[in-house]
Amino acid sequence: GETSPQSEQLATGLSAVQPTSAMANDGAHGEWSGALAVSPMSDTTLKLAGLRGATTCAANTTPAIQAAVRDLIDALVEENGLSPQQIVSVTFSVTADLDACFPAAMARQRPGWDGVALLDCQQMAVQGDLERCIRVLAHVWMPPQRKPIHPYRGEAQRLRPDRSRHN
């Protein structure tokens, strides 16, 4: 497909991100949708990475879910050195026993997160699965040399002992 001068400018310095015909174009002004974590004139190269993580809640209450989401997202952001501009999207999945509130609504309250695409969904029910669990999948722009850190908190450390710092 054809690229506009704007799309070529957006790709400057982002060797891991090249415009393609599959990228969303609003057509009206030739502008590409989506978020970039660097200035178009930057020479910084970033790659799109998927970060996983999970935590558990003490109870099915709004305060307990809010505290668990805050702890999980704080760990995800701090341990990976992320700014809100680097976060493209976050999907939360929750076990069926958590229905007091929406985790994405909690995350949406974070400063600078008004441009982050957020989604809640229910985790697939599997017999014997961890109770009161919130899982997260975040798509973020990161320097290619930075090793992603996937935070597993509380009882969710059992889900991925290989990613737990407590082993």
pLDDT in tens, the chain (167 residues): 444 443 333 333 333 343 333 333 333 333 333 444 454 445 578 999 999 999 999 999 999 999 999 999 999 999 999 999 999 999 999 999 999 999 999 999 999 999 999 999 999 988 888 999 999 999 999 999 999 999 999 888 878 666 655 43
Place of tokens 């680097």: 86
Q: In this predicted structure, what is the pLDDT of residue 13?
A: 36
Per-residue pLDDT at 17: 41
What gap in Å lies between CA 126 and CA 45, rounded to an integer?
40
pTM for the model stands at 0.72
106-to-20, 67, 86, 90, 111 alpha-carbon distances in Å: 34, 9, 19, 12, 11
Selection from 75, 53, 81, 76 nearest residue 142 by Cα = 81
Q: Which of 74, 72, 90 is nearest to 82 (CA)?
A: 74
d(CA 119, CA 121) in angstroms, rounded, equals 7
